[in-house]
């Protein structure tokens, strides 16, 4: 199993040191490339972290759309005989975005405007991608500090909050049943 | 796949609403979006055709709030239900932590329900996941319509694996939040169960199996069962083996015999040569003395 395969298969946990390290890489990328904002998104559509730019968009939605569009293009690449398109570029009237795969486990999304060029962004993104890959690999290989990080019986603990949010008492143990005869056809 | 960010104390999960076309998947999300308060939901995004048929997915991010010290976020997706969108359906299913199967309760839709369920199984299998490996809630939707199939019939035909099931009407809102609540709880419980898996075994837990897929254009094989053992050639029957051995022994004996017969002859020849040499020497010495 090669490194990419291992990374793709592993559940990733991010601690403060990881996010800090990733943040430094993205800050440096923005400084050199003069891009506006850089996000690291996992392939399932969850945002890992974001640096730069103003929060004018919904991070969660953008993360999901980035991952979705990347996966869709990857399928298209396969149909065309390519393994994948490792870099995608979408040009807008004012802002543009470049997406680059990181170790087959995450996507680096960089938004930029006319203060820089696509070439500059691509140049520095290449270096950043390699550094980010090392961070992800380290996160994968590190044994977790301890299971106490995740509360035990999270489902049970969540019951109260879920009842509060979605209303009513949890009926997770009940199966749907027919109503009295009047409901039947 | 669940993402856990300890730096931000965040846990993100993905729930996918699956089912045949027009069964009410998008309506479910719309109802959830309409019902929940603003601080608990994000923007409802729908990538759909002009005719409002889901083309890629619908997305509704939810912020459940703090649970066990973690900010829990849910991403709710729907898939396009129409048969020919299977490729995109498969993409959306990637990394799902839980599934809500939205079944259409109308009697003439049962075949489509079954087809969609089979499709779910196949698409999960592409990621190395079986139906029994992932939290699933079965929702019998459109209960508000007249002449719908009895729940008992839906259960017997669709719910052989005895998942949690709910009755619902996405149009009126009945059962929609109940369904989501049940699925959310199952997903979160599964997260904490998997979290107890030792780090060394992480790659064998449920969601790692999502990552087992065929990534290359040349269609690298999905992880499957180990190759069958190549059977050893059958051992020769004892009688035949004995015959072979006997023949080998005979051959060995013959060789030994032949070597035994030839040894004396050579000895005689050597002796004769030495004798001739000796005789010659004696003759020479005698001549010299004469």
Domain residue ranges in chain A = 8-141
Beta partners for B77?
B16, B59
Q: Is B221 on the interface with A (CB under 8 A)?
A: no
Give A-chain residues touching B212 at CB under 8 angstroms.
9
Residue B94 maps to a domain: yes
Q: Which of B15, B42, B178 to mutate to test the interface with A (most CBs of A within 10 A)?
A: B178
- The confidence score (pLDDT) of residue A57 equals 63
Judgement on whether residues B141 and B270 belong to the same structural domain of the protein: no
Judgement on whether residues B283 and B154 belong to the same structural domain of the protein: no
Judgement on whether residues B273 and B182 belong to the same structural domain of the protein: no
Judgement on whether residues B191 and B253 belong to the same structural domain of the protein: no
Please give the average per-residue pLDDT across A77-103, as a whole number.
88
Residue B222 maps to a domain: no
Q: Is B173 on the interface with A (CB under 8 A)?
A: no
Residue B220 maps to a domain: no
Judgement on whether residues B85 and B201 belong to the same structural domain of the protein: yes
Q: Across the interface, do B57 and A68 touch by the CB < 8 Å criterion?
A: yes
Q: Across the interface, do B56 and A11 touch by the CB < 8 Å criterion?
A: no
- Any residues with CB less than 8 A from the CB of B215 and at least 6 apart, and which? A8, A83, A104
Q: Across the interface, do B95 and A176 touch by the CB < 8 Å criterion?
A: no
Judgement on whether residues B248 and B204 belong to the same structural domain of the protein: no
Q: Across the interface, do A161 and B188 touch by the CB < 8 Å criterion?
A: no
The residue among B195, B210, B225 that closes a domain is B210
- The confidence score (pLDDT) of residue B102 equals 98
Residue B189 maps to a domain: yes
Report helix, strand or coil for A141. Answer: helix
Residue B229 maps to a domain: no
Q: Across the interface, do B138 and A72 touch by the CB < 8 Å criterion?
A: no
Judgement on whether residues B205 and B251 belong to the same structural domain of the protein: no
- The confidence score (pLDDT) of residue B31 equals 96
Residue B226 maps to a domain: no
Judgement on whether residues B179 and B247 belong to the same structural domain of the protein: no
Q: Which domain holds residue B283?
A: 243-290
CA distance to B59, B152, B169, B271, per residue, from A61 (Å): 7, 39, 27, 107
Q: Which of B29, B94, B211, B218 to mutate to test the interface with A (most CBs of A within 10 A)?
A: B211
DSSP element (H, E) containing B188: helix B176-195
CATH number for the domain harbouring residue B14: 3.40.50.300
pLDDT tens-digit readout, B98-139 = 999 999 999 999 999 999 999 999 999 998 999 988 999 999
Residue B273 maps to a domain: yes
pTM above the 0.80 mark?
Answer: no
Residue in A19, A143, A175 closest to B199 by CB: A143
Q: Give the CA radius of gyration of chain B.
A: 40
Tokens of A19: 């996010």
Please give the average per-residue pLDDT across A88-116, as a whole number.
91
Asked if residues B98 and B13 have their Cβ atoms less than 8 Å apart, the reply is: yes
Please give the average per-residue pLDDT across A93-113, as a whole number.
91
Helical segments of chain A, H only: 3-9, 16-33, 59-79, 118-141, 154-166
Asked if residues A80 and B218 have their Cβ atoms less than 8 Å apart, the reply is: no
Total domain count, chain B: 2
Judgement on whether residues B13 and B82 belong to the same structural domain of the protein: yes
Judgement on whether residues B253 and B141 belong to the same structural domain of the protein: no
Asked if the model's pLDDT at residue A131 lies above 80, the reply is yes
pLDDT averaged over 10-residue windows placed end to end, chain B, 290 residues? 84 95 96 94 87 86 90 93 86 93 97 96 92 94 96 95 95 95 93 61 35 32 39 44 42 41 50 52 48
DSSP element (H, E) containing B20: none
Interface ipTM: 0.80
- The confidence score (pLDDT) of residue B241 equals 40
Tokens of A76: 């298209």
The closest alpha carbon to B186, from B140, B137, B133, belongs to B137
Residue B160 maps to a domain: yes
- The confidence score (pLDDT) of residue B234 equals 46
Listed range (A55-59, A167-171, B223-227) with the worst mean pLDDT: B223-227
Judgement on whether residues B190 and B249 belong to the same structural domain of the protein: no
- In this structure, what DSSP letter does residue B174 have? B
- Any residues with CB less than 8 A from the CB of B109 and at least 6 apart, and which? B20, B23, B103
CATH of span A8-141 = 3.30.450.30
Percent of chain A that is helix, strand, coil (3-state, to 5):
50, 20, 35
């Amino acid at each position: 199993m090669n490194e990419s395969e291992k990374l793709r298969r592993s559940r990733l946990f991010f601690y403060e040191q990881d996010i800090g390290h990733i943040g430094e890489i993205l800050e440096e990328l923005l400084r050199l490339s003069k891009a506006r904002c850089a996000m690291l998104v996992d392939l399932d559509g969850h945002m890992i972290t974001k640096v730069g730019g103003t929060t004018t968009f919904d991070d969660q939605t953008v993360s999901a759309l980035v991952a979705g569009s990347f996966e869709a293009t990857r399928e298209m690449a396969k149909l065309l005989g390519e393994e994948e398109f490792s870099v995608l570029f979408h040009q807008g009237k004012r802002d543009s975005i470049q997406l680059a795969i990181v170790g087959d486990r995450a996507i680096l999304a960089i938004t930029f405007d006319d203060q820089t060029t696509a070439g500059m962004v691509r140049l520095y993104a290449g270096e950043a991608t390699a550094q980010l890959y090392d961070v992800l690999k380290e996160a994968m290989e590190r044994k977790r500090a301890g299971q106490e990080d995740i509360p035990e019986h999270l489902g049970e603990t969540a019951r109260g909050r879920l009842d509060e949010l979605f209303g009513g008492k949890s009926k997770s143990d009940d199966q749907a049943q027919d109503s009295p005869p009047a409901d039947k056809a | 796949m669940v993402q856990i960010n300890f730096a931000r104390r965040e846990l993100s999960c993905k729930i996918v609403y699956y089912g045949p076309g027009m069964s009410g998947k998008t309506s479910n999300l719309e109802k959830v979006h309409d019902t929940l308060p603003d601080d608990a939901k994000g923007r409802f995004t729908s990538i759909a055709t002009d005719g409002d048929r889901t083309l890629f997915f619908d997305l509704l991010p939810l912020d459940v709030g703090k649970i066990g010290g973690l900010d829990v976020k849910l991403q709710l997706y729907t898939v396009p239900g129409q048969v020919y969108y299977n490729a995109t359906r498969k993409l959306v299913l990637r990394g799902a932590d839980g599934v809500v199967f939205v079944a259409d309760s109308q009697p003439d839709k049962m075949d489509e329900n079954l087809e969609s369920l089979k499709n779910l199984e196949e698409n999960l299998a592409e990621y190395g996941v079986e139906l029994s490996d992932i939290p699933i809630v079965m929702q019998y939707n459109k209960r508000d319509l007249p002449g719908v199939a009895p729940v008992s019939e839906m259960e017997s035909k669709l719910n052989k694996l005895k998942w949690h099931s709910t009755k619902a009407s996405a149009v009126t809102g009945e059962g929609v939040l109940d369904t989501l609540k049940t699925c959310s709880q199952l997903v979160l419980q599964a997260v904490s169960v998997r979290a107890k898996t030792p780090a060394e075994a992480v790659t064998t837990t449920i969601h790692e199996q999502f990552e087992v897929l065929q990534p290359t254009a040349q269609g690298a094989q999905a992880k499957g069962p180990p190759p069958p053992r190549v059977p050893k050639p059958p051992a020769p029957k004892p009688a035949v083996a004995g015959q072979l051995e006997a023949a080998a022994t005979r051959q060995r004996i013959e060789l030994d015999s032949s070597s035994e017969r030839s040894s004396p002859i050579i000895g005689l020849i050597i002796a004769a040569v030495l004798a001739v040499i000796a005789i010659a020497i004696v003759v020479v010495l005698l001549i010299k003395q004469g």
